[in-house]
Structure 1
Amino acid sequence: MISIKEVTKQTGITVRTMRYYDQIDLLRPAGKTEGGHRLYGEKEIKKLQEIQFLKTIGFGLQEIKEMLADENHDWFAGLKNQLDYISKEKERLGQIEGTLRGLINEIMLNGNIDLSNMQKLIQLYQQNMDKREGYLNQTFNEEESKLLQSLPNINREDPETLEWIALIAQLKKHMSKGISSPEIQRLIKRMYEKEQEDFGDNKEFIEKVWEIRKSPQKSESAGFYPIDSETLNFFEEAYEFYLNKKGNL
């Protein structure tokens, strides 16, 4: 038999937690000293280990209490239900993670954040998922559909997306300097290089994406993050200026 303090040394579980387990009748001590201090034996230590393990895989204390008290507990069904719950929770957390990344990236892109607008976009994105996939399948062939995965996504933090966000943010910052300014043309040059790196000679695909991007209605149907028309028009003019200059070199 060992004292409650010795249990905490061996397991790292606090005295307060051990007392709480006793209070809710989850883990009773094997006995007490004359001074009223709790004592635990091998059986109780084993049960404590079982409790901690079940906690780590997501079970609540009340569930654990019922599971360990029932000798005929259906462990297969219980674990299967827990797996289903964890899978759904994982999906939910994944959506939250994407939303948080989107909010952070929006700040990087625009310098501020509109929570109500972002909430509307998220709801729209989730509600029209089937419609969006149908639109993309009608617009892009099988090979082009694979290229869609290379497009930047506001809810991701992969290096490609982050670079595109940084480039667009810098473009918006320097727009007042005009399409021919060195700052703008350096940004456009890098955007052109990235376009070639990511999509190569798939000009038809790039044209389709740009056609969608320029239309608010089509962008919404495709699930693209909305970029204001002023920025898009400026980009198009700066891009054409860059290509004309490049062609004359």
Structure 2
Amino acid sequence: MIHIKEVAKQTKITVRTLRYYDQIGLLTASSKTEGGHRLYSDEEMKKLQYIQFFKGMGYKLQDIKDILSDSNWNWPNSLKSQLAYILEEQERLREIESSVRELMNGIAVEGGDEWLAVQKLIQLSSQNKKRLLTFKENGFNEKEIKLWTKLPKMKGEDPDSLEWIALLGQIKRYTKEDPASSRVQNIIRRMLEKQMEEFKDENEFINKLWDLRKSPKQSEKLGLYPIDKEVLDFMERAYDIHISCLQDSSFEQGEES
């Protein structure tokens, strides 16, 4: 017979937990010392191992009690049911993780305004997720539909998506500044660098995407995260300034040569 304190030491289960198991009839000690301390037999230690094993698999205590008390328990069916539960739980947690990541990224895009991010994500979640028909209705060909998959994702955790999200958040933060300021122009320059990295020689696709992005109605149909018109207009002005500066620089270099 093994003293309750020794059982707790061997199994890393607290004495309090062992007493609770006894109270609910899950694991009852077969005898006690003269001082009233519980003593466990080898059979009860074996049963305790089952309890630990099933707890680690996610079974509830009442379910474990039913399993151990039923000599005709159908093990294959029980394990299949538990596996199905675990897979459903994993899917639920993946969805929660995705929603948390999306909200974090939304807050970043909105420059820290969590309420605005929540409002926009609620709007986004209510939209139809099957967009292939919408793509074709808007004149996207098969190649452009594939290019669409390379766009940054609000639920993404990849470095490219996170950098785009950070750049959008910075742009929104500086919309009260002069779009020609060095700070804003540095952001636009980095955006154009990233655009070239992913969509080199795809100007037709980029221009089409930008036109759709500027239309709230079309953006909504395509499931794009809503960006305020003020921010889009500011980005366009900053972009025009950036391109103009590049052209002026090229012209000056041409004259010098």
Structure 1 length-normalised TM: 0.89
What's the secondary structure of 2:7's corresponding residue? helix
Correspondences of 1:106-117 after superposition (within 5 Å): 106-110=106-110, 111-114=112-115, 117=119
- After superposition, the Cα gap between the structure-2 partners of 1:175 and 1:86, relative to the gap in structure 1 and judged at 3 Å, is same
Structure-1 residue corresponding to 2:11: 11
Segment of structure 1 superposing worse, 169-178 or 133-142: 133-142
Structure-2 residue corresponding to 1:84: 84
Segment of structure 1 superposing worse, 59-68 or 135-144: 135-144
**Structure 1: gaps spanning 5 or more residues:** none
Confirm or deny: 8 A CA contact 2:103 2:121 kept in the other structure. Answer: no
1:243 Cα deviation after fit: 2.2
Between the aligned partners of 2:53 and 2:176, the Cα distance in structure 1 is 60
Segment of structure 1 superposing worse, 22-31 or 115-124: 115-124
Residue correspondences, number: 246
1:39 Cα deviation after fit: 1.0
1:137 Cα deviation after fit: 6.2
What's the secondary structure of 1:144's corresponding residue? helix
Correspondences of 1:157-196 after superposition (within 5 Å): 157-196=157-196
Deviations 1:205-225 (A, max 9, x none): 323322332222222222211
Correspondences of 1:69-108 after superposition (within 5 Å): 69-108=69-108
What's the secondary structure of 1:7's corresponding residue? helix
Structure-1 residue corresponding to 2:123: 121
- After superposition, the Cα gap between the structure-2 partners of 1:137 and 1:35, relative to the gap in structure 1 and judged at 3 Å, is farther
Between the aligned partners of 1:84 and 1:230, the Cα distance in structure 2 is 48
Confirm or deny: 8 A CA contact 2:32 2:39 kept in the other structure. Answer: yes
1:96 Cα deviation after fit: 1.4
- After superposition, the Cα gap between the structure-2 partners of 1:29 and 1:91, relative to the gap in structure 1 and judged at 3 Å, is same
Correspondences of 1:146-225 after superposition (within 5 Å): 146-225=146-225
Between the aligned partners of 1:122 and 1:78, the Cα distance in structure 2 is 40
1:188 Cα deviation after fit: 0.4
Percent identity over the alignment?
48
1:123 Cα deviation after fit: 4.1
What's the secondary structure of 2:13's corresponding residue? coil
- After superposition, the Cα gap between the structure-2 partners of 1:52 and 1:96, relative to the gap in structure 1 and judged at 3 Å, is same
Between the aligned partners of 1:81 and 1:207, the Cα distance in structure 2 is 52
Between the aligned partners of 2:120 and 2:82, the Cα distance in structure 1 is 32
**Structure 2: gaps spanning 5 or more residues:** 251-257
Between the aligned partners of 2:16 and 2:99, the Cα distance in structure 1 is 37
What's the secondary structure of 1:81's corresponding residue? helix
Correspondences of 1:55-70 after superposition (within 5 Å): 55-70=55-70
Instruction: Return the index of the structure with the highest Cα Rg.
Output: 2
Segment of structure 1 superposing worse, 132-141 or 79-88: 132-141
What's the secondary structure of 2:165's corresponding residue? helix
Structure-2 residue corresponding to 1:135: 134
Amino acid in structure 1 at the alignment position of 2:53: F
Confirm or deny: 8 A CA contact 1:103 1:118 kept in the other structure. Answer: no
